[in-house]
Amino acid sequence: MRSHLHQVGVHTIDMSEYSQTSHLLFCSGLLLCNHPGICVFPLSVSYRSIMQMLREKKTLLTEILSADSSYILQNVQQEEIVTNRDYNNLNIPNQSNEKTVINLLDKVMNKGDTKSYELVNLLQKPHMIKNYPRLEEIFNNHTEPSDHTFNPAPTIPIPCTDNSDLETVVTGGDEVSLYEMTSVPRGLCLIINNEIFDKLSERTGSNKDAVDLANIFSRMKFRVVMCKDKTAVEIPSVLKDLPKHGDAFVCCILSHGKKEGVCGTDGTVVPTIDILSPFNGTNCSILVEKPKLFFIQACRGKDVQKGVPVNKKPKVEGTDMELDTDDGQVQDYTLPLYSDYLVFMANVDQYISIRSPTSGSWFIQSLCGQLEKSCTRGKNIYEILTGVKAAVSKKKGDLRIKDANGGYGYEVVKQSPDSRDTLTKMLIFPAETKHSS
């Protein structure tokens, strides 16, 4: 059976059969920042589907939205949450506002978690809050993205990996310090999930990656901010207007991409340096000497990376050689402008990255899996990165490619995640990543 693949690039790739995955799950109690389309996931030890939340809040939602049933109907139609046929069936003359809203909520919930999430996302947009101010009773919305807008950490004790003996990591006689990772929340995890584009192909399956990232980083005690479908102008604006707090910063970008950077929903490229620069030592002093991690799921070119045969060879022992410099000078303690960064990309330069419309991308799913099993064991970030690279490099699939004659054929495709960093300490996430019972 062929793998079910989707190219994270500018070409539409044919899909074949693939196993179904579970419904998308989102945390309840969403907050709103001052950027449209941003959902903030509160630190939580439990997860419920959006549909569950809609059921619990159905009576209150009905009461709120019944104040102007025609407005919500128009908006769900414009956002394509319901079809035109659904709209006509719901918009019945002389029917009470309350009955119209009840039928609408039932219709959306019957469509499943994805449409339910789209409805909740719509209800948090500024124009909806303006028309239905009481929606804040449900979503606890705030307008300023500062630290005080976040819900406090839960009072329920969360078991953590014991790091009392991890003050230093000794390698070759030299002590390597650990990044401090004690604040709760640990810091902010921003997820920019670009799925729908003006001209480029839809990135089906990206929601699966976004939800899995939100879940794992929330369980690692990060405050998670979800940002959906941003243009090349909006992406830098979002990055510059984030609350800065905690012991670390994580940014996950899921989008189409090119060699120069990632694409906004308008197809324009945001250079990678423009994503990194808002957090350097000059522009963000509060994150100096704190790890800034960027995980980017996007193509970096149009080439397809092929596999090569590997023959097992006996291990060859080498000799160690010492290298030194001649000047013997000791420098004052300073930090480079781009110190304490880690950038982990889905593939090496010039090559496409692979995504399944049902189970998500090779890169992000492997990353979530490694974080899930490695953090509770006290593994450092380099061991996690190596685990991701190993897992992805072993994957292969048949990609439908158009040949020079206009015909179609299948080509075996491989992928090699690429990392670079300027970390100055050892990074270990001392967080429990298992679901609490």
Show which residues are catalytic: 256, 299
Q: For the stretch 107-139, what's the b/e string if a residue is b when 16 or more beta carbons lie within 10 angstroms of its beta carbon?
A: bbbebebebbbbbbbbbbbeebbeebeebeebb
Tokens of 277: 């620069």
Q: For the stretch 77-105, what's the b/e string if a residue is b when 16 or more beta carbons lie within 10 angstroms of its beta carbon?
A: beeebbeeebbeebbeeeeeeeebbbbbb
Tracing tokens 């030194």 back to the chain, one arrives at: 324
- The bridge status of strand 223-228 relative to strand 187-193 is parallel
H-helix or E-strand containing 320? none
d(Cα 261, Cα 273) in Å, to the nearest integer? 8
d(Cα 121, Cα 124) in Å, to the nearest integer? 5
Tracing tokens 């997820």 back to the chain, one arrives at: 191
d(Cα 46, Cα 151) in Å, to the nearest integer? 15
| Cβ within 8 Å of residue 122, ≥6 positions away | 75, 76, 79, 81, 128
d(Cα 282, Cα 288) in Å, to the nearest integer? 9
The DSSP secondary-structure symbol of 228 reads E
Ordered alpha helix ranges (H), 183-268: 206-219, 234-240
Handedness of CA 25, 41, 200, 255 (dihedral sign): negative
Helix (H, G, I), strand (E, B) or coil at 328: coil
The CA distances from residue 23 to 5, 112, 198, 205, 227, in Å, are: 19, 8, 27, 12, 20
Strand partners, 263: 269
Helix (H, G, I), strand (E, B) or coil at 223: strand
For helices 206-219 and 362-374, give the axis angle rounded to 10 degrees: 20
